[in-house]
Amino acid sequence: MIILLSPDCSYLINYARQLLKYFVMSFQNIYGAQFVSHKVHGLLHLCDDYEHYGPLHNCSTFMFENYMKELKSFVRKHDKPLQQVINRDNEKCYASTTNSRKNNEEFILKPSLQHI
């Protein structure tokens, strides 16, 4: 991983590729077949990402993962999480528009499409 996170280690990319391939091939023996997943296989493509995008922090999903805390806060129960996230986002947008509206304006509520 140090190689794949370093901007000046492109000359070691083939070595990193061999190490990752060895790890993936040995994974089943080390951890057991029940833990082999597509994420383990995905390790084989990290070197391709390095060659295409540069060091791995250039193509990280950490920004999205940091936003997960806010998305999780939108979910209040286990049933229909996607609808809940959309509803909370709509509530957030509604609250911001009503706070910025003038007192004499009217606001018309329309039925939600989620019940259709």
Q: Of 9, 20, 16, 21, whose CA–CA distance to 55 is shortest?
A: 9
Q: Which two tokens stand for residue 3?
A: 């190689």
- Position 39 scores a pLDDT of 87
Q: What is the pLDDT of residue 95?
A: 78
Tell me what pLDDT residue 102 has: 52
| Rounded Cα distance, 21 and 15, in Å | 10
The better pLDDT of the pair 112, 15 is held by 15
Residue 16, classed as helix, strand or coil, is helix
Per-residue pLDDT tens over the stretch 46-104: 999 999 888 888 776 666 666 778 888 889 888 988 888 888 888 888 777 666 555 55
Which residues, including other chains, have CB under 8 Å from residue 76's CB and lie 6 or more apart? 84
- Which tens digits make up the pLDDT trace of 59-70? 766 666 667 788
What is the mean predicted confidence (pLDDT) over 25-49?
A: 89
Quick one: pLDDT band at residue 11, thresholds 50, 70, 90?
very high
Give 105's pLDDT tier (boundaries 50, 70, 90): low
